[in-house]
Every structure is written in C-alpha cells, then in structure tokens.
Structure 1
C-alpha cells in the first residue's frame, strides 16, 4: 500500500508525487499518491475531501490495497500540492473520538459493548449490545463521557504487533493481524483503530446523546460531539424561542402551553365533527323534501361546496337508506378538485358506475364503484354546476331539483 500519514491528525496540506493516474470509463479519474494525508472511508468514518492542485477530491477509498483519490478531472502535474478540507476533518476527529469515549463509558459502567459505529453528516450512532437501556443509564454514560472530556486526557496512538495485543486491555479484539494501531486514552480506553483523532479529550468539546431506538437485539444510540453540539443547541434555542413567542409563554411553560393548545384543538375538532353531523342531518331532510319525481323514480341532486368525498358518500348513503326508488347525485368542489357521488336504491336499475364514467374524462378524473354506488373525482376544468347538468342530462331529466 502507498504510504499513509493521515494518522498525523493536524496535517492540513502537503506536497507529494502522483505515482498512478487512471481514468475509468472516461467519467471518473483517480490518482494514487506516493504519500497521502487523506483518510479513506473505513471503520465507520467517512473519507476526507479537499483538493489536489485545486482539483476537488470527491471520494477516497482503499481498493486493491491502494488508496485511490477520485477527482473531478485529471491532474497535469506529477509533483502536487494537496489541501484537506479541515473543517470536515476536524468534525470527524471530534465525532470519532467522542464515539470511543462514549463506547468506553457504556462498557465501563454497564458492560454494554459497542457492535457498530456510523458517522453521519448530521449525527452519529453506535449500536450497543443490550436489548434495552434506561434513561438513567444514558444519563450516567453521558455524564462519565463528558467528565473524561473535561479531564483533558491525552489521546495517543501506538503501533503494535499481533503478539502484543494481550498486553493491552482492549475493549475488543482487533479486526486485523498486522499493522495494528491503538488509540489510547490512559486509564480509560484502549482500542484498535485506524481513524483520525485529536490530541486530547478536551478537543472533543462535548458529547450529547439525542435519542435511542431498538435495532434487532441491540439498542442504537444517536449522539453528537463537539461543534455539532453547539450547532444543535443554537438550532433548538431558536426553535424554543420562536415557540415561546407563538404560544405567548415563557420557555419553562412551553410544554404546558402546547398541551393546553392541543387539548383545545382536539375539543374544536370534536365540535367540528358534531356540527358536520348536524349539517348532514339537515341536508338529508332538505334534499328529501325537494326531491324530484320523474317517471317511475325520484331523483335527489345537489351541488354542495366544501364537502369531502367521505362526507359526500355518507350523505348519499343516508339519503338512500331513507328513500325508495331513488337516484342520488351529489357534486362538491374542495381544494380545486371535483368530487362526485352517484347512488341508487334497489330500484331503478340505472348503472351508477356507467353514469359516472360519462363525466370523468371531462375532468381528467378517476373513480369507480358498482352499478348501485359509484364515486370519483378530478380537476375543476368544469364547474360543479356544469358537471351536474351533464349528469342529469344523461338521465334525461330537468335541473329543477336543486
């Protein structure tokens, strides 16, 4: 493998030589450098990005035992100057070291071992080997982790051989048998790791656990470290301040005020439902009183604004239950959409799904149902009155029933 020195945590720029450059499918170019400080994806930590000769690096991976730096365009020079995106690197160093500290805290306090780690763009996660974790355990682990950060302990690295592994109290066995690199926080954590880390625990800044979730037989813990904690606090502070103003309540009473508001909202929704029931009952009586008698059957037709499909269906079914030898046609417009319901009693034998299908193409609509009851909707390319007229004309009756 080409020589690495990404373990030198604070190397932000360096000069080196290009020893290999390959263009794949005329779309991607990667280079292999004689020496590199760019961290390749691995161990739960994303790759570094940055520039080589001002050409952006979009990915760094270890493939076929070489570190490949994927670029937006080929390089022209053999001796090159490289620059790491330091803000991203520092963030990764804080998150990765924070993970070591938090995992060690869970192991030390409760013997919960970490089985996986993921460093995401917004948050980090560890999966710990337990089926449940209490809020008190989370609080204790977070407290211990932050005490270690405040203690400003050194974070050192050491290369050892496989035969030396047993000399150190490692949290878990290394996944490799050679070139084993230890990351050590004295008297607290010894862990085999190839990732990037700051020089002291204080540089991690702070650790904050955000939430947990069940993950098969483990528990997944979402957390953030360092600068991410400050950004998260700033975001939540702005949100709480805005809610405080909206609810006209001090921050300490936001939860109570929001609960009271939700209670009132639920009560209002119940009242709205009750009033809708009254409206439907009124409409039933009104429409039955004005129903038209044409030949061997009655027709009840009405344009009713701002009724949902569910409400139209309910109204139509009640009307049919209270009627005999009746056809019901209801049309409503709501939120720039047309809603149509057609239904009949056992007699007459008109097919409601066929009646509805005569107007659906006019409104780019969709719908369906049976011969006895059908529903559909579409665009407001025709007014509700125009659609009603077309439906009534299909039955060869007049519009004197509105």
Structure 2
C-alpha cells in the first residue's frame, strides 16, 4: 500500500495522525516507519526532505521508495497502530519560499533573455541555479531580479494541477516533464508553467522577496546564487553586521568602505615589500658575518651552522648568498624545529663535491626526503637525533 501524500493536498498542514503500516531497518541498520498517510515531504526534485517528530521522536530523514515513504527516526516507535506527526514548520516554509522563488527567477531569466535553467540546488543557507549561458552581466541579473520581485509584489496565485500526458499541449511549459504519469504542474498564471513535485506557497507574495547574491562560471554554464524570503533578511542582517564592524575598524563611513579597503591593501603590500627587502638585507649581513667567522680549511672554507625554528626559504637564501660571494665555500645548515630536522647543503663552483650526493647519504639517519643539484640540495625528516648530531653526520662526509 502506497503512502497518501498529504503535503500535496495541503502544503500548510503541520500536524496529522496516521496509521503505521510497517516498521523496519534498512541495510545500514537505520530504523524507519511507513505510514498510510504523511505530511512529511521526502527528498526529491531538488528540494530537501522535511524534519519533525512522530510521537515526539525526531524524524531526521524522509525518503520515498516505490511509493512508500520511509520516516527515519532517532529512536523506535512502540506503537503498532497510530501515531501523531508534526513537521518542522519553519523548515517547510523556508523550502516552500526557496522553491517557489526559484520558479519565479528561472521563468524571468528565460522570458527576458532566453536563459534556460539546467539545474537547481536548494542548500541549507544558499540556493543556486545553473543557467544555460557562459556570460551573465550585472545589468541582466539586476533586470531579472527586479522582474522577479514585481511578480512577488503582485501576489499572483500559485496553482497546482494534476494532468495527463495528452493534456500537456494546453500549457506553455518552461521545460519538458520527466514523467509520463501522475504529472503535476505548478502554475503562476500568465508567467510560469512547470512540471514540479515540490511544495510551494499558494501565492507569490508569500515568497517575500528574492535577492541575487553572486554568480560564477561553471562547466560552460553560469551558476547563480540567490536567497528568498526569510533568508533575505538573514543575509541583510549578516552583511550589515560585517559592514558595521568594518566601519568601526577602518573609522570610515559605509559609502567609503571600498576606497578605504583599497588603501589598506595597498599600504599592506608596500609594507610587505619593505619587510621583504629588509629581510634580504639581514640575510646578506648574516652571510657576510658567517664568512668572517669561518676561515679556509683543507683547501676550502666550511661554514656549518645549526639553527632553531628558521624557515627553509631563509636558510636556502642565506646559503645561496654565501656561495655566490665565495666560490671555494661549502655550507652545511641544519634547522631544528619541535618535531623535525631540515638540511641545506650548498657549495661554490670551486668545491669538488656534489651536494645532492652528500644529502642522500645523511637523509636515512632521519627517515628523510629531499633532493637538489650538485651545488645546492635540501631535505628534511623526523627528529630522531639532535641538530648537532646531524651536523656531525654531514661533516663526516668530508672524510
């Protein structure tokens, strides 16, 4: 026996009584019940399922399988005959507003610019449609948003009608229906005729308003994000809080926020460049200091240094600076952090050694990985020894 769909008879029905036809568990061991009738809308047609309670037990998922609607519960029903169901009305109304808003928006895009809607997603916070165009302008989006909100202000009726396949010729459908039986049309007279199995309010005015947020290219289409009804107020409140916070931080009125933000970004870039230049100067000074500290040994100069918590780019640059200034200098750097060791080996052109080979010999000592060229190599691994012990291993390679 199939479940009677009360949500089609009255989408505003929030509480109902039903007889229990079946109780069971699915393949994942999740408990569900099937009722003779229900106001719970199951997932389908781009619209998420309703939630609520059956005899005060939470209904967290609703799916339709072969005409039978399963209500998944966080608990079990002891009764075998009747139960009382109650849907989460705020969630249902939200879904009705978003779904009807999508119909209005899609019809407006197609009517005004010929852009068909190829898919629809009703998300928890945002909704989106994919439009069959790879280019959407701000002027087009604003024009469609205005048309959609005029349709809402006019408070046109939203009708539903069950028709046969042969009766479809009497309607100017926005797209072909996907079924041949039990065809349900959602109609906004003289504006939109569309096959749909979702829930909708009985007039466009109850959608409240539609706000287009932004859009992006997606697989040769345009994915457009929007909100309707209560979500518009939520977005307005959220964005107002952000703007108020920025006006306080930047000490700038709302209408000047963009220019103020641009100035801050530009100043930040200038400061970052200054810091970068100063770091390079410090590294150059450090390179000169290390070259003075170490003198020639066995035909070339060996500079060995163990650092703590330096960045790899810094010590790599330091090694490059040294070997660029002195062709007969060999550099061994070890950087020690809380949980790992890092190595940089570098040499000038007059040093008869291959840095990638030296690194390869010591990396197994720390279960490390790395690589490089004959003149500079780098790697890292686990902190299985101290930085000084690893340096000793590197120096041994000179013997």
Common topology (TM > 0.5): yes
1:280 to 283, 286, 291: 283
Which deviates the most, 223-232 or 51-60? Answer: 51-60
Q: How far did 1:387 drift?
A: 2.1
Partner residue in 2 for 1:3: 4
**Contact kept? 1:155, 1:200, Cα under 8 Å:** yes
**Contact kept? 1:325, 1:348, Cα under 8 Å:** no
The 1:133/1:340 distance shift into structure 2, 3 A limit, reads same
- The answer to whether 1:138 aligns with 2:141 is yes
Q: 1: CA distance between counterparts of 2:222 and 2:49?
A: 26
Q: 1: CA distance between counterparts of 2:353 and 2:378?
A: 17
Give secondary structure in 2 for the equivalent of 1:395: helix
Number of paired residues? 391
The 1:337/1:246 distance shift into structure 2, 3 A limit, reads farther
Q: How far did 1:315 drift?
A: 1.8
Which deviates the most, 277-286 or 89-98? Answer: 277-286
Q: How far did 1:390 drift?
A: 5.3
Spell out the pairing of 1:84-95 with structure 2 (5 A cutoff): 84-95=87-98
Q: How far did 1:79 drift?
A: 0.6
Q: How far did 1:392 drift?
A: 4.6
The 1:178/1:300 distance shift into structure 2, 3 A limit, reads same
Structure 1: unaligned runs, 5 residues or longer:
398-402
- The answer to whether 1:352 aligns with 2:354 is no
Give secondary structure in 2 for the equivalent of 1:117: strand
Spell out the pairing of 1:1-400 with structure 2 (5 A cutoff): 1-7=2-8, 8-25=10-27, 27-77=29-79, 78-303=81-306, 307-332=310-335, 339-345=342-348, 347-349=351-353, 352-353=358-359, 356-357=362-363, 360=366, 367-369=370-372, 373-377=376-380, 387-388=387-388, 391-392=391-392, 395=395
The 1:327/1:61 distance shift into structure 2, 3 A limit, reads same
**Contact kept? 2:132, 2:222, Cα under 8 Å:** yes
Give a deviation string over 1:21-65, Cα, whole Å, max 9, x none.
Answer: 222347212222111111111111011111111222222112123
**Contact kept? 1:337, 1:377, Cα under 8 Å:** yes
Q: How far did 1:337 drift?
A: 6.6
Q: 1: CA distance between counterparts of 2:389 and 2:34?
A: 75
The 1:393/1:71 distance shift into structure 2, 3 A limit, reads closer
Give a deviation string over 1:302-333, Cα, whole Å, max 9, x none.
Answer: 45666421121122123223324432123456
Q: 2: CA distance between counterparts of 1:297 and 1:38?
A: 83
Q: 1: CA distance between counterparts of 2:320 and 2:343?
A: 13
**Contact kept? 2:362, 2:394, Cα under 8 Å:** no
Give secondary structure in 2 for the equivalent of 1:196: coil
**Cα root mean square deviation, aligned:** 2.6
Q: 2: CA distance between counterparts of 1:216 and 1:165?
A: 32
Give a deviation string over 1:342-371, Cα, whole Å, max 9, x none.
Answer: 22345354853156538646xxx6545467
Tell me the TM-score normalized by structure 1: 0.88
Q: 1: CA distance between counterparts of 2:247 and 2:56?
A: 47
Give secondary structure in 1 for the equivalent of 2:284: helix
Structure 2: unaligned runs, 5 residues or longer:
none
Q: 1: CA distance between counterparts of 2:106 and 2:231?
A: 18
Tell me the TM-score normalized by structure 2: 0.89
The 1:54/1:220 distance shift into structure 2, 3 A limit, reads same
The 1:358/1:215 distance shift into structure 2, 3 A limit, reads closer
Q: How far did 1:300 drift?
A: 1.5
The 1:31/1:394 distance shift into structure 2, 3 A limit, reads closer
Q: How far did 1:380 drift?
A: 7.9
